[in-house]
A and B are shown apart, each in its own frame.
Chain A
């Protein structure tokens, strides 16, 4: 139980285009989802916290107009990288926070999405 999926698992796009990444909690409801980014040989860095039905909270230094987050339901959050540039190439990982059940207060992570911007 407590599976989180991400789609796509990898994507290559041209500079200037937008890319949408989906994060789904498959067998539980998540009121909160987190988006992380990991550059090579660096640690996972929290980008933003996504709450269902409300605006996302972004970490310092993360451009909210560039990384659009939508958490329209208790099982789906999307991250859209707008006008992507090569420096946005990274590994994007989401996690979902359970709001109830025997494993509440635990984050469950998706397998990640590798974005390459040419």
Chain B
């Protein structure tokens, strides 16, 4: 069985500050890992995914995440937050590319 833990259901950062959203996973097999973003009234959009290639994955909108097997983590970062980054962010794990197990999500608020 696989699981995902996202620490912090709500995160607030100032505009221009570093964004760090935490995701830890549990998997008995080498995992595929995903970050999704959801804006109001829209569906989940894929930000980035790790599929056993490079451990540092770059995604859209300046986000990146690093796969750390020793820490079973896949934290999402962005050097400088913009107001448009305010959204719900979900981490997910899979043992294949299709069946996803999601975390509970983190709501990111940007403070002007």
Contact = CB atoms under 8 A, between A and B. Distances in A.
Chain A binding surface, main DSSP class: strand
Nearest to A112: B43
Interface stretch (B62-70, B76-84, B99-107): B99-107
Contact of B42 (A32, A106, A111): A111
Contacts of A43: 4, 90, 101-105
Contacts, number: 46
Interface residues of A, number: 22
A42 B104 contact: yes
Contact of A49 (B9, B42, B45, B99): B99
A94 to B, nearest CB: 9
Interface in A1-36: 4, 9, 32, 34
Contacts of B97: 105-106
Contacts of B105: 43
A67 interface: no
Interface string B86-112: 000010000001111111110000000
Contacts of A97: 98
A32 B43 contact: no
Nearest to A6: B43
A44 interface: yes
Contacts of B44: 93, 95, 109
17 contacts: A4-B43, A9-B41, A41-B9, A41-B104, A42-B104, A43-B101, A44-B102, A45-B102, A93-B43, A95-B43, A95-B44, A105-B98, A106-B97, A108-B43, A111-B41, A111-B42, A112-B43
Interface of B: 4, 9, 36, 41-46, 90, 97-105
Given A43-B103, A107-B46, A110-B43, 12 more contacts: A34-B98, A34-B99, A43-B105, A44-B90, A46-B99, A95-B43, A105-B98, A106-B46, A107-B98, A107-B100, A109-B43, A109-B44
